[in-house]
Amino acid sequence: MYKELIKTIALFIAKPVKAWEYINTKNPTENNPLHSYAYPLMGLGSLSAFIVALVNNGSNDGFQIALKEASLLFISSFIGLYTAAFLIRIFYEKYCKEPLSFDVTIQFVVYSSSVIFIINLFNQVTSSIFFLQIFSLYTIYIVWEGSIHFLKIEESKRASFVLFSAFCMILLPIAITALMKFFMPGLQ
**Tens-digit pLDDT string for the chain (188 aa):** 678 888 999 999 999 999 999 998 887 666 788 888 899 999 999 999 899 888 888 777 888 888 998 999 999 999 999 999 999 999 999 998 899 999 999 999 999 999 999 988 888 777 656 677 788 889 999 999 999 999 999 888 899 999 999 999 999 999 999 999 898 887 66
Residue 153, phi-psi category: left (phi > 0), alpha (psi -120 to 50), beta (remainder):
beta
Burial (0-12, 13-18, 19+ Cβ within 10 Å), 178? exposed
Closest CA to 173 of 55, 77, 53: 77
- pLDDT, position 19: 92
CA dist 54 and 80 (Å) reads 25
Question: Does some domain include residue 27?
Answer: no
Q: How many other CB atoms are there within 10 angstroms of residue 179's CB atom?
A: 12
Question: Does some domain include residue 44?
Answer: yes
Closest CA to 77 of 107, 125, 114: 114
Domain span including residue 102? 16-22+34-187
- pLDDT, position 4: 84
Question: Does some domain include residue 10?
Answer: no
Burial (0-12, 13-18, 19+ Cβ within 10 Å), 147? buried
- pLDDT, position 1: 65
Question: Does some domain include residue 80?
Answer: yes
If one counts the domains in the chain, the total is 1
Taken in order 108, 110, 115, 116, the sign of the CA dihedral is positive
Q: How many other CB atoms are there within 10 angstroms of residue 60's CB atom?
A: 7
Question: Does some domain include residue 28?
Answer: no
CA dist 158 and 143 (Å) reads 10
- pLDDT, position 128: 58
Helix (H, G, I), strand (E, B) or coil at 46: helix
Question: Does some domain include residue 140?
Answer: yes
Question: Does some domain include residue 2?
Answer: no
Q: How many other CB atoms are there within 10 angstroms of residue 166's CB atom?
A: 25
Q: Are 54 and 66 in contact (CB under 8 A)?
A: yes
Query: For residue 171, what are the contacts with CB-CB under 8 A and spacing of at least 6?
Result: none
